[in-house]
Chain A
Amino acid sequence: MDTGFIIEKFILVAVIFGISLVIAMYSTYAERKVAAYLQDRLGPDRAGPFGILQPLADGIKMFMKEEIIPTTSNKWLFIVGPGLALLCACIGTAVIPWGSPMEIGGKIVPLQVADINVGVLYIFGVVSLGVYGVMIGGWASNNKYSLLSAIRAASQNISYEIAMGLSIIALLLMTNTLSLKTIVEQQHGWHWNVLYQPLGFLIFMVCSFAETNRAPFDLPECETELIGGYHTEYSSMKLGFYLFAEYINMFVSSAVMATLYFGGYNYPGMDYMATLLGPTWAPLFGTAILFAKIFFFIFFFMWVRWTIPRFRYDQLMNLGWKGLIPLAIANIIITGIVIAIIEKF
Chain B
Amino acid sequence: MSTQVFYFVATLSIIFSLMVIFAKNPIHSVLYLILTFFTFTVHYVLLNAQFLAVVNFIVYMGAIMVLFLFVLMLLNLNKETEPVKSPLIKIVGVIAGCCLVVTLVGSFKAASINSPLILKNPGLGLVENLGKELFGPFLLPFELSSLLLLAAMVGAVLLSKRDEVEA
Residues of A within 8 A of B (CB): 77, 116-118, 121-122, 124-125, 127-129, 131-132, 135-136, 139, 147, 150-151, 154-155, 157-158, 161, 178
User: B57: CB under 8 A from chain A?
Assistant: yes
**Once the chains are docked, how many angstroms separate the CA of A49 from the CA of B51?**
51
B27 to chain A: closest residue by CB: A139
Interchain residue pairs with CB less than 8 A apart (7): A118-B50, A118-B51, A121-B58, A125-B61, A129-B61, A132-B66, A139-B73
Residue B15 CB within 8 A of the other chain:
no
Residues of A with C-beta under 8 A to B58 = 121, 124-125, 128
Given known A118-B50, A118-B54, A178-B127, contact A151–B74 (CB-CB < 8 A): yes
B55 within 8 A of A: yes
CA distance A127 to B54 in the complex (A): 12
Which residues of B, 7-63, contact A by the 8 Å Cβ criterion?
A: 27, 31, 34, 50-51, 53-55, 57-58, 61-63
Residue B69 is within 8 A (CB to CB) of chain A in the complex: yes
Partner of B63, one of A116, A118, A122, A158: A158
Other 15 A-B pairs with CB < 8 A, given A136-B31, A161-B62: A77-B31, A116-B50, A118-B127, A121-B55, A124-B58, A127-B62, A128-B62, A132-B66, A135-B70, A135-B73, A139-B69, A151-B74, A158-B63, A158-B67, A158-B70
Interfacial chain A residues near B66, Cβ < 8 Å: 128, 131-132, 135, 154, 157-158
Interface residues on B, range: 20 to 34
Chain A residue nearest to B76 (CB atoms) is: A147
Cβ–Cβ contact A117 & B127, under 8 A = yes
Residues of B within 8 Å of A122, CB to CB, are 54, 57
The residues of B that contact A135 with a CB separation of less than 8 Å are 66, 69-70, 73
B153 at the interface (CB under 8 A from A): no
Please name the residue on chain A nearest to B51 by beta carbon: A118
Q: Which A residues are in CB contact (< 8 Å) with B127?
A: 117-118, 178
Q: How far is the CA of A117 from the CA of B130 in the complex (A)?
A: 13
Decide if B126 is an interface residue (CB 8 Å cutoff): yes
Write the nearest CB–CB distance from A277 to chain B, whole angstroms: 36
| Residues from chain B with Cβ under 8 Å of A117 in the complex | 50, 126-127
User: Within 8 Å CB of A116, what residues of B?
Assistant: 50
B54: A residues at CB distance < 8 A? 118, 121-122, 125
Bound-state Cα–Cα, A136 to B35, Å: 14
What is the CA–CA distance of A157 and B73 in the complex, to the nearest angstrom?
Answer: 16
Kindly state the separation between the CA atoms of A128 and B63 in the bound complex, as whole angstroms.
7
Within the assembled complex, what's the spacing in Å between the Cα atoms of A152 and B61? 19
